[in-house]
Structure 1
Amino acid sequence: MDNLVHLHDPFADHIPEQVEHWLARLPGAIQIRLNGADAGRTRALVTLLHGNEPSGLRAVHAWLRQGREQIETQLATNLVLILANVEAARTPPLFHHRQLPGLRDLNRCFRAPWTDAPGRLAQSVLATLVECGPEAVVDLHNTSGRSPAFAVAAIDDARHRTLAGMFCNHLIVTELRMGALMDSAETLFPTLTVECGGAHDPAAHQCAAEVLRRFGSRPSLFSPQPATGTLHVFHNPVRVELAPGASVSFSTEQPADVILDANVQARNFGVTMPEERLARLRDGQAGLLSVRDHRGRPVFGELFRISDGYLTPRLPLRLFMATDRADIARSDCLFYIARAH
C-alpha cells in the first residue's frame, strides 16, 4: 500500500468489461502515464483517495477500454492518472470503506508525519506529481450524500475559477487546511477538487467521465472559455462536527446524542431557513457539536440556536456535504455551512 505502482502498459492485457473485475486485478495503488499531442506539457488526475467513492475509477476504467490509439488522439497533453486507495475500495464490502479499518483517512495525510502506511502512500502520490510537473491537477471525488457536482479550491483566482467552470456551477474556496491533497499541492501547481455527486448516482458517474474527457482534451485549460452558466463561489464554509465522544444517528429509533434529520442530505446546496430543524440534540446541549470557522474560532452562537431541543439556523444557511451515513458523519463531519447569498 505504501507506494504507487507504475502500470507501464495498461493495454497489454485485456481490460475486463466489469470495473469490479479490473479493480480486483490491479497491483495496488497505481499511476498510468499516457502520451498526448503536446509532449512538453502534462496534466494529472487523481481519484479513489477514498475507497467508497467509485465514480472516478469507473470513468478511468471506461475510458481506458477505448484503447491506446483512441485515447491518445484525444489528449491535448500528456496525462498522468493516479488511482490511490485501491485496497480500501476492494476490501469487502466493495466500495464501502472510506479508508482501511484502523488506518487514517488518506486525504488527511498529505503533510508530515509520513510514518504510517497512508502517510507513505500520500508522500508517494506527491512525489509522483512533483516529478511529472503538471500544469494542473484535478482530484476527483464523490460526495458522502446526494448532491449536485461542485468544486473546491484552496485559492480563489482566475485559474481555479476557469478550471471549476469547465466542470460545474459551484466553487467552494476554503482556507481550512486539513492535510488534503489540495492543501499540499497548492503551492506547486493549480489543484482543484471536483465532487461529482453521490457515490451511487449514475449522474455522478457521467459527471466523472465528462470531467476526465474535458480535462484531458481541452488544448488550453486557463484561456477564457464560452460561458456555460454562472459560477457561484462560496468562501470558507464552516465545518460542523460531533464533539469528542458524542454519538450520531438518523432516526429516533436509534437513540444517540445527535439525531440528524433523516433527509438532511436533500438540503445540500439548498437554503435552510431559520427555525427549520436540522437535528435533535440530547437535552438540548450545544456542546455536543463543534462549530468552528477556518481560523478555529467557535461560531455556534452566530449561526445556530437551540429551540425545544432542536438545532435550527439563526439565519438562512446553505449546507454542503451532508451525508446519510452515520460512520462518515462520526469520523469526518456532519456537514459544512455557509451564509446563504
Structure 2
Amino acid sequence: MLKRRDTLPEGFLEARAGELAAMLGGPTLIELPGERAAPLFVSILMHGNEDVGLGAIQRVLRAYDGRSLPRALMLMVGNVSAAAQGVRRLDHQPDFNRVWPGTLDHVGTVEAAMMAEIHERVLARGAFAAIDLHNNTGRNPFYSVICEHRPEVLELAARFARRAVLFRGVPGTQTASFAGHIPAMTAECGKPGSPAHEEAAARFVADVLESETLGGDREGGALDLYHTLGVVRVREDVSLSFAGEAADLSLAPDIDRLNFVETAAGEAFGRASHPMPLTMIDEAGRDVAEEFFAVEQGELRLARPVTPAMLTGDPQIVRQDCLGYLMERLAPA
C-alpha cells in the first residue's frame, strides 16, 4: 500500500491535493536529504479534506529550490484517495490518524501495517521531531496537540502557537505513537483553504527544519496550556440536526463559537429529547458525559465550567470523528 520515493515527483510543488492520488498512486513516504542527517518527519493529508500541510510543504520546498535543505526531511503524504474526493476519509477506510502504533480499533488492517512501517523507519533514522499538520472544520485559533510535558515537546509547540493542548486519550494517533521516542506534536492550523494559514504553517516547518536543537530557551514566552478532559461524541442511536429539524439532538449551528472560550456551567448546547445523547470518554476510557452535561427541560447544558475545543457544526465530521473536546486550563508551561 505504501509508496516510497527519494525525490519529489514532477509537478508536486504545484499540485492540488485532489491531484495527488493520480500523481503518487497512493500514500507515499518521500525522504529528502539535508545538511543535518537526523530528519524532520512531517505528515500531511492524514485527513483528505485538510490540505494546509500540502500548501505549507510546497512553500517550504519552493523556498529551498536549488539549495540543500538544512535538515533531512521525511514527508508522509497520507490519504490521497480521500483528498481526490475532498473528504476526510472514504466510507470503507479507517481514519488515517487512528491507525498508528497503539491503535486499539484497527489492529490488523493494512493501514495500521503501513503506519507501523513508517513509524519504524522514522525511529530507525533517529528523527529530530515529528509534526502532523491538520486543519479544523470549526472555528478555532491555531494550537498544538501534545502528549508529553517534556521541555523539547513544549518548545516545539511554542514555536507554532501560544496555545497547546495536552491529551493522551486517543490511541492510534501519530503524535501519541511517537510520545516517549521523539518530540512530536499535531499542528492545528484553522480552517482549510486559507493561504495565510498555509504560510503560517510553512514558517513553522521551516523554523524547525533550521533548528539545531530543541529543549533550550523558548521564544514567545509561556504557553497557554490546556488539558483535555475527554472527547465528546453523539451516540450512534441518536439522530442529529444542526438546522432545527426534528431530531433527538438539535445543536446550535454556530456551536463552534465556544471553541477555546472559558464557558460557564449552564451554557446551552442545543435541545435534546434523549436523556443523555452524548458520550464523553476521558483519558482512562471512562464515559463521564453525565459529569459534564445535563438535559434539563429539553435543553442540553453544561454541568461544569469548561473550555471546549474542536466543536464542529459539520454532521459528517461529527459521525466520522467527534463533536469536539472539553478541556481545563493548566498552569502556564
TM-score strictly above 0.5:
yes
Q: Note if 1:204 corresponds to 2:194.
A: no
Q: SS state of the match for residue 302, structure 1?
A: helix
Q: SS state of the match for residue 14, structure 2?
A: coil
CA offset at residue 309 of structure 1?
1.1
Aligned-partner residue type, residue 92 of structure 2: G
The match for 2:92 is 102
CA offset at residue 21 of structure 1?
7.2
Q: SS state of the match for residue 236, structure 1?
A: strand
The match for 2:54 is 57
Asked whether the equivalents of residues 19 and 61 of structure 1 are also in contact (C-alpha less than 8 Å), the reply is no
> What is the distance in 2 between the residues matched to 1:158 and 1:20?
34
> What is the distance in 1 between the residues matched to 2:172 and 2:303?
31
CA offset at residue 257 of structure 1?
1.8
Q: CA RMSD in A?
A: 2.2
* Regions of 4+ moved over 4 Å: none
Matches for 1:324-335 after TM superposition, within 5 Å: 324-335=313-324
The match for 2:291 is 302
> What is the distance in 1 between the residues matched to 2:4 and 2:123?
15
The match for 1:280 is 271
> What is the distance in 2 between the residues matched to 1:21 and 1:296?
36
CA offset at residue 138 of structure 1?
0.9
Q: SS state of the match for residue 272, structure 1?
A: coil
Asked whether the equivalents of residues 248 and 330 of structure 1 are also in contact (C-alpha less than 8 Å), the reply is no
> What is the distance in 1 between the residues matched to 2:183 and 2:221?
22
For 2:109, which of 96, 111, 116 is the aligned residue?
116
For 2:78, which of 80, 84, 102 is the aligned residue?
84
The match for 1:270 is 261
Q: CA offsets per residue over residues 65-120 of structure 1, 9 Å max, x none? A: 345424x25x2x22211111112111x2xx3x211221111111113655333223
> Which deviates further from its counterpart, 198-207 or 323-332?
198-207
Using a 3 Å threshold, how does the CA distance of structure 1 residues 310 and 236 change in structure 2: closer, same or farther?
same
Is there any run of 5+ residues in structure 2 with no aligned partner, and where? none
Using a 3 Å threshold, how does the CA distance of structure 1 residues 14 and 313 change in structure 2: closer, same or farther?
closer
For 1:167, which of 160, 184, 187 is the aligned residue?
160
CA offset at residue 14 of structure 1?
4.5
> What is the distance in 1 between the residues matched to 2:128 and 2:198?
25
Q: SS state of the match for residue 34, structure 2?
A: coil
Matches for 1:217-296 after TM superposition, within 5 Å: 217-226=210-219, 228-253=220-245, 255-283=246-274, 285-286=275-276, 288-296=277-285
CA offset at residue 16 of structure 1?
5.9
Asked whether the equivalents of residues 34 and 79 of structure 1 are also in contact (C-alpha less than 8 Å), the reply is yes
Q: CA offsets per residue over residues 290-341 of structure 1, 9 Å max, x none? A: 1232113333333222232111122322111111210111221111012457
Normalising to structure 2: TM-score of the pair?
0.89
Asked whether the equivalents of residues 247 and 330 of structure 1 are also in contact (C-alpha less than 8 Å), the reply is no
> What is the distance in 2 between the residues matched to 1:186 and 1:264?
32
CA offset at residue 22 of structure 1?
5.3
CA offset at residue 32 of structure 1?
2.1
Asked whether the equivalents of residues 248 and 329 of structure 1 are also in contact (C-alpha less than 8 Å), the reply is no
Q: SS state of the match for residue 259, structure 1?
A: strand
> What is the distance in 2 between the residues matched to 1:229 and 1:148?
18
CA offset at residue 229 of structure 1?
4.2
For 1:337, which of 319, 322, 326 is the aligned residue?
326
Aligned-partner residue type, residue 31 of structure 2: R
Q: SS state of the match for residue 296, structure 1?
A: coil
Using a 3 Å threshold, how does the CA distance of structure 1 residues 325 and 155 change in structure 2: closer, same or farther?
same
> What is the distance in 2 between the residues matched to 1:62 and 1:185?
26
> What is the distance in 2 between the residues matched to 1:217 and 1:224?
16
Matches for 1:175-186 after TM superposition, within 5 Å: 175-186=168-179
Asked whether the equivalents of residues 233 and 279 of structure 2 are also in contact (C-alpha less than 8 Å), the reply is yes
For 1:45, which of 33, 42, 45 is the aligned residue?
42
